[in-house]
Structure 1
Amino acid sequence: MDFSRAVAALRAALADSSRAQAAPDLLEQVLGLIRPSIGLAVPARSRNGAPAGPVAGWYGGLPGLPDGVPWPDHQGRPMTLLAQLDCAALAPLLGPEWMLPGSGTLLFFSDEWFHADFGADPGDDGCAVLHVPAGMPDRTAPPEATVIPALPLVAAAVLAAPDYAEPELAAVFSADAIRVMGLVAEIRDRLPTVRHRLLGWPDSPVTGPAGRRPLLALEAEQGTAWGELVGVSFWIDGSDLAAGRFSRVRRYLDVA
């Protein structure tokens, strides 16, 4: 992705917007908060049953864990693998904007029973994100583990815009809420809709754990039963993201 060119194209597309014309300073402020991200989706199948497009990861499945790395658990119960992402396949999509390891696989685990303690903020510790070498053989699931049938994921680079409720827009929102809501909604409507998103901003108007930014947001797919939950997202501290540390990632549950 040529991030600067993509933002410039979005700015040009908004030239006919009455909201943008009425608030050029606000427009530039929101555009300055645009982030690169990767949209992930389960692809349509070709005639021979193969995914229609290069596979950049998997929703569910079994993890490739190196010897000596235990299957993550929460209070003795094995977590569920929600997603596994191929860093080498994804990194070229964002080029210099890529903020994650350039190789290996990222594994996203979640407490299937949602019993983790939320504590004082919206996040909880019922998750684990592991960065492991690529090509590891699949680990057999331990007893009691829920295994989601593996679904391939294809990826595309997309822009992501903040919601009007983000703290970065709090000052202008308090001054002119209607104008901010209208312009932000129009900008978000002009960007692609994705089912799952890596990096960027959250698609739902949620406020994640304090001091953290979205890492991966997932919606339920085939083989997943979340009841009233409509999404599970993983959040990371900015300094941890820059350093490639995933030991303090927290989870947020989006309830309908």
Structure 2
Amino acid sequence: MDFHRAMAALRTALADSSRAQAAPDLVEQVLDLVRPSIGLAVPARSRNGAATDSVAGWYGGLPGLPDGVPWPEHRGRPMTLLAQLDCAALAPLLGPEWTLPRDGVLLFFSEEWFHADFGTGPGDDGCAVLHVPAGAPRRDAPAGTGVVPALPLVAAPVLAAPDYTEPELAALFSADPIRVMGLATEIRDRLPTVRHRVLGWLDSQLAGPAGHRPLLALEAEEGTAWGELVGVSFWIGGPDLTAGRFSRVRRVLEVA
């Protein structure tokens, strides 16, 4: 993604907006918070079992785990793999805006019943994100572990804008709630919505842990059994994101 070119196109698209014309100072302050992201989707043809090209990862499935890497557990019970992302396929989509490892695979696990306490510590023991080498041998899930049917994911770079409820807009919103709400909503409406997203902002109004940013947001797909939950997002602290540390990732759960 050429982030600067994409931002220029967004500014051009806002040129006919009466809200933007009436508050150019506010527009720039909201646009300063727009972030690059990657949208992920399951191609329609893959749902019928057809082959899919340019796979950038998998929703569910079984992980490739090197020998000696244990399957993540929560209180002695193996977690379920929700997604696996191919860093080498995703990194070129964002270029210099990509802050994650440029090779290997990221594996996203969560305890199956979403019962884990978030606690007061820096991490969340009900989820785990592992960065493993590409090509590690696929490992069968431990007995009794929920396995989400594997669905291929294709990827495309997209801009992501904050909702007016985000803490980063709190000061502006307090000073001018009507205009900030209108501007933030209009900017988000002019950007594509995606089913699953890497980095950026959430498409919902869910608040994440203080000091954290979205790492991966997932919606329920066919074959998952989340009950009333419709989305799971993984969040990472700013310094950990910069350093590529995944030991303190936390989750946010979205209920219908």
TM-score bracket relative to the smaller structure: over 0.9
1:35 paired to 2:35: yes
Aligned-partner Cα distance in 2 for 1:209–1:124: 11
TM-score norm. by structure 2 comes to 0.96
> Counterparts of 1:241 and 1:172 in 2: how far apart (Å)?
26
Partner of 1:97: 97
Q: Residue 50 in 1 paired to residue 56 in 2? A: no
Matches within 5 A, 1:20-31: 20-31=20-31
AA at the equivalent of 2:194? V
Equivalent position amino acid for 1:205 in 2: Q
Q: How many residues align?
A: 254
Moved more, 61-70 or 177-186: 177-186
- 1:136 aligned partner: 136
Cross-structure match for 1:62: 62
CA deviation profile, 1:220-252 (whole Å, cap 9, x unmatched): 001101111111000001111111100000111
Q: Secondary structure at the match of 2:45?
A: coil
Counterpart in the other structure of 1:184: 184
Cα deviation digits, residues 95-152 of structure 1 (max 9, x gap): 010010000000000011112112359x843100000000111111101210111000
| Cα distance in 2 between the residues matched to 1:125 and 1:16 | 48
Aligned residue in 2 for 1:166: 166
What CA distance in whole angstroms lies between the structure 1 residues aligned with 2:254 and 2:182? 24
Counterpart in 2 of 1:82? 82
Alignment gaps of 5+ in structure 2? none
Contact 1:77 / 1:144 at 8 angstroms: preserved in 2?
no
Deviation at 1:178, TM superposition (A): 1.2
Q: Distance in 2 between matches of 1:69 and 1:119?
A: 26
Equivalent position of 2:254 in the other structure: 254
Q: What SS does structure 1 have at the residue aligned with 2:216?
A: strand
Match of 1:209 in 2: 209
Deviation above 6 Å: which 4+ runs of structure 1? none
Query: What corresponds to 2:244 in structure 1?
Result: 244
| Paired AA for residue 139 in structure 1 | R
Question: Counterparts of 1:64 and 1:11 in 2: how far apart (Å)?
Answer: 43
- In 1, Cα distance between equivalents of 2:174 and 2:8: 28
Identity among equivalent positions (%) equals: 81
User: Could you give the per-residue CA deviations for residues 37-83 of structure 1, whole angstroms, max 9, x where no partner exists?
Assistant: 000000122798112x4100000000000000000010011100000
Once residues 166 and 125 of structure 1 are traced to their aligned partners in structure 2, the CA distance between those partners, rounded to angstroms, is: 25
Indicate conservation of the 8 Å contact 1:125/1:251, yes or no. no
- In the superposition, the TM-score normalised over structure 1's length comes to 0.96
- Asked if structure 2 preserves the Cα contact closer than 8 Å seen for 1:212 and 1:237, the reply is yes
Provide the alpha-carbon RMSD of the alignment: 1.4
- For 2:227, the equivalent position in structure 1 comes to 227
Q: Is the 8 A contact 1:158 1:192 kept in 2?
A: yes
Return the alpha-carbon distance in structure 1 between the equivalents of residues 118 and 131 of structure 2. Answer: 24
Q: Within 1, Cα distance between the matches of 2:95 and 2:69?
A: 30
CA contact (8 A) 2:124 2:248 kept: no
